Structure 1
């Protein structure tokens, strides 16, 4: 199993939109360009997504972390 965590690029737009509740392509595309979206890959497939937002334009926080449901581990 090949695991990779990296910043998203425009090739990941479709995959990251599947994780986003609002599904606003323009907003997600812009966030990808601004390096505000991180993806988790498993065997070269996007299986998770993290989105960064900013409070008052300069305090970063994680607005969501989503992992494909069939890969979640609940204990």
Structure 2
């Protein structure tokens, strides 16, 4: 499991999260995405990497809560 370092509500259904993921941040490049699961048995969803910080070992994602999985992610 990765730790959520920051969670911000941008508007009613759009969230920003900064996630501690050193291995991902080290290899991240502009335009790439991650495959994320909210739980071990959950649906795998692709999310674009909005930003990354190799020194801090974090990646930033921005997503809209439009389905069950993204709503569950927003509730974390």
Q: TM-score, normalised by structure 1?
A: 0.27
Write 1 or 2 for the structure with the bigger share of strand. Answer: 2
Determine which structure has more spread, i.e. the larger CA radius of gyration.
1
Compare relative contact order (CA 8 Å, sep 6+) and give the higher one, 1 or 2.
2
More helix by share: 1
Q: TM-score, normalised by structure 2?
A: 0.27
